[in-house]
């Protein structure tokens, strides 16, 4: 059974700091997704990672994938308040897309 674990589940950080969210998964997969959800809103796709060593960047967010370690990271550089949201990773296994519990990120001005 595929399990997806994120940590931390809650993160409060100061603006300007760097931090990393981790996503571990339990069985092999070749597709990993990162989503953002603002309070009371739907989910928005951030990244799709397809292969070992894949790295994608958009603004202050950078995602990477290590399929051998079954680990993806979402790195936040010089955080700004607008990045406050809940971030989910999700993994595709046999066409089922299973989500982690999410990391609630609160960035203090």
Partner 1 sequence: DADVTQTPRNRITKTGKRIMLECSQTKGHDRMYWYRQDPGLGLRLIYYSFDVKDINKGEISDGYSVSRQAQAKFSLSLESAIPNQTALYFCATSPGPYTVLNRGWQETQYFGPGTRLLVL
- Residues forming the site for partner 1 (CB under 8 A): 9, 31, 33, 41-45, 48, 50, 88, 90, 95-102
Q: For partner 1, give the closer residue by CB, 79 or 90.
A: 90
Q: Indicate the DSSP class of residue 94.
A: T
Q: For partner 1, give the closer residue by CB, 9 or 69.
A: 9
**Cβ at position 95, least distance to partner 1 in Å:** 7
Strand partners, 39: none
Q: CB within 8 A of 16, min separation 6: which ones?
A: 78, 79
Q: Which two tokens stand for residue 16?
A: 């300007």
100 phi/psi in degrees, rounded to 5: -75, 175
Q: For partner 1, give the closer residue by CB, 42 or 109.
A: 42
Q: Which two tokens stand for residue 66?
A: 């290590």
- The position carrying tokens 């066409």 is 95
Q: Which two tokens stand for residue 47?
A: 């990244």
Q: For partner 1, give the closer residue by CB, 17 or 106.
A: 106
**Cβ at position 109, least distance to partner 1 in Å:** 25
**Cβ at position 14, least distance to partner 1 in Å:** 25
């Amino acid at each position: 059974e595929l399990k997806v674990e994120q940590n931390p589940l809650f993160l409060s950080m100061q603006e300007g700091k760097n931090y990393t969210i981790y996503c571990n998964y339990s069985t092999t997969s070749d597709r990993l997704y990162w989503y953002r959800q603002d309070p009371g809103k739907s989910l928005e796709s951030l990244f799709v990672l397809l292969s070992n060593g894949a790295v994608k960047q958009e603004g202050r967010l950078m995602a990477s994938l290590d399929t051998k370690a079954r680990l993806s990271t979402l790195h936040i550089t010089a955080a700004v308040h607008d990045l406050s949201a809940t971030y989910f990773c999700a993994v595709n296994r046999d066409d089922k897309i299973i989500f982690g519990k999410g990391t609630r990120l609160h960035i203090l001005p």
